[in-house]
């Protein structure tokens, strides 16, 4: 358990940051889910729009330290290739 005043303060700060990061991660997952649902429905226009909205959210996750940049790059690459394949059909 935290003993010093500094360690107690750090514990409080970590608690607050954890809540904020949980909310950010949840928001990102929601945007990703919308892209996945659009892809599953087979609607290319909806999928394109959902991906266009998800990209800045993913990038924001990197800048805020919620996700690693390579993880986001991989997700965006895979999603965009799936959307492109759907549009080509």
Condensed to tens digits (0 to 9), the pLDDT of residues 2-12 reads 789 999 999 99
Nearest to 51 by CA among 70, 89, 79: 79
Q: What domains appear along the chain, each with residue ranges and CATH number?
A: 5-88 (1.20.58.110)
What does the mean pLDDT of the chain come to? 95
The pLDDT score that the predictor gives to residue 46 is 95
The percent of residues in the chain predicted with pLDDT above 90, rounded, is 93
Q: 48 pLDDT exceeds 90?
A: yes
Q: 89 pLDDT exceeds 90?
A: no
Which uninterrupted H or E stretch holds 82? Answer: helix 69-88
């Amino acid at each position: 358990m935290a003993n010093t005043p500094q360690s107690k303060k750090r514990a409080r700060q970590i608690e607050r940051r954890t809540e904020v990061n949980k909310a950010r991660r949840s928001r990102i997952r929601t945007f990703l889910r919308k892209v996945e649902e659009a892809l599953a429905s087979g609607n290319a226009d909806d999928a394109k729009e959902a991906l266009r909205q998800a990209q800045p959210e993913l990038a924001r996750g990197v800048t805020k330290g919620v996700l690693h940049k390579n993880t986001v790059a991989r997700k965006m690459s895979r999603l965009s290739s799936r959307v492109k394949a759907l549009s080509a059909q």
